[in-house]
């Protein structure tokens, strides 16, 4: 493993999680570059001390010890890693790629086989924690892969995560744990929206209902975080409805592949699909509450 003074890492995707990861790597003393299509994000990271930023790997010089790929889905990950001018060609021999999108286990395994065939290491390492924890270097990483990949990526993991779970040696195990986690996250948001919608129908002030739940046994992290957006009437996206259409779609596909019934996940999936179909796909995922008719919701922020 290289020491931090010579270790070069590049973060692909400077979104809410990727920016936090990039800043955390830079704070840890790693020579950190960033790739993002959005010029504003590139400028923000450059101003915060990036070694370099670009819209693609072609705009960066040299090779890297590691890449951390924080894009939306498996198709994007495959494209940025193995596509034309993909990052795989810029990994040092024996280097590693940490793939942190939410994807199916089969997609992760297929990607892992192709990366391994290039003589590189892959860590199947989805993340969680939200933008605030990412900015603090306190993400939770649920990772699987060979010991050599964990060793090579140790400086990155130490920089971005307060908790790294070594799920197992097989690529795809990390992806599966993330899918199961997203089952819980999506159902918690959906049932939180249902509870708040019922309160609205009953004439209970939503700020009062929110305060009761967040100080009682029915609370969850997702309720406390997302239903605050409903109370404030602000659906500016931190994680959009369409993200959970994708993720709960992966959940239901996983259930079918294993021949396992997932009645609550299937219902939540249908709710998010309905919200997207109603035109709320790019709003915050708490906008799933807008699928309920006959209620009046607070108005405040965007949109």
Q: Quick one: pLDDT band at residue 130, thresholds 50, 70, 90?
A: confident
Question: With respect to CATH, is domain 8-170 assigned 3.40.50.720?
Answer: yes
Does the pLDDT of residue 198 top 50, yes or no?
A: yes
DSSP state of 202: T
**Cα–Cα distance for residue pair 164/157, rounded to 1 Å:** 7
**Cα–Cα distance for residue pair 198/218, rounded to 1 Å:** 15
Residue spans of the domains in the chain: they are 8-170, 176-291
Instruction: Determine contact, residues 51/28, Cβ cutoff 8 Å.
Output: no
CA quadruple 269, 271, 277, 282: dihedral sign: negative
Does the pLDDT of residue 303 top 80, yes or no?
A: no
What pLDDT is recorded for position 4?
58
Q: Report the DSSP beta bridge partners of residue 88.
A: none
What pLDDT is recorded for position 167?
98
Does the pLDDT of residue 89 top 80, yes or no?
A: yes
* 290 given a catalytic annotation: no
pTM of the model: 0.92
**Six-digit token string for 185:** 């996250």
What Rg value do the Cα atoms of the chain yield, rounded? 20
Overall CATH class of domain 176-291 = mainly alpha
Q: Which of 178, 228, 290, 302 is catalytic?
A: 178
292 by Cβ neighbours in 10 Å (0-12 / 13-18 / 19+) ranks as: middle
**Six-digit token string for 99:** 């793939």
Tell me the average pLDDT across 34-51. Answer: 96
């Amino acid at each position: 493993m290289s020491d931090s003074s010579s270790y070069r890492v590049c973060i692909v995707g400077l979104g809410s999680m990727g920016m936090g990861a990039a800043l955390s790597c830079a704070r840890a003393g790693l020579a950190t570059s960033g790739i993002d299509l959005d010029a504003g994000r590139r400028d923000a990271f450059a101003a915060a001390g990036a070694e370099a930023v670009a819209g693609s790997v072609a705009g960066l010089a040299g090779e890297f010890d590691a890449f951390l790929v924080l894009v939306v889905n498996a198709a994007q990950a495959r494209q940025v890693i193995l596509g034309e001018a993909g990052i795989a060609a810029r990994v040092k021999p024996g280097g590693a790629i940490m793939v942190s999108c939410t994807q199916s286990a089969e997609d992760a395994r297929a990607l892992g086989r192709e990366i391994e065939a290039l003589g590189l290491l892959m860590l199947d390492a989805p993340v969680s924690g939200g933008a605030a924890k990412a900015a603090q270097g306190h993400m939770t990483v649920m990772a699987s892969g060979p010991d050599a990949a964990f060793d090579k990526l140790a400086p990155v993991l130490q920089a971005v995560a307060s908790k790294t779970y070594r799920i197992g040696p097989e690529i795809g195990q990390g992806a599966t744990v993330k899918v199961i986690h997203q089952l819980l996250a999506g159902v918690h948001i959906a049932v939180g929206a249902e509870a708040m919608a019922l309160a609205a129908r009953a004439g209970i002030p939503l700020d009062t209902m929110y305060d009761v739940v967040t100080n009682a046994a029915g609370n969850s992290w997702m309720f406390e975080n997302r239903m605050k957006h409903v109370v404030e009437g602000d659906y500016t996206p931190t994680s959009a409805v369409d993200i959970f259409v994708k993720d709960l779609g992966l959940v239901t596909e996983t259930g079918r592949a294993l021949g396992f019934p997932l009645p609550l996940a299937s219902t939540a999936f249908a709710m998010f699909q309905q919200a997207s179909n109603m035109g709320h796909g790019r709003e915050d995922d708490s906008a799933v509450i807008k699928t309920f008719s006959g209620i009046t919701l607070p108005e405040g922020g965007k949109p």
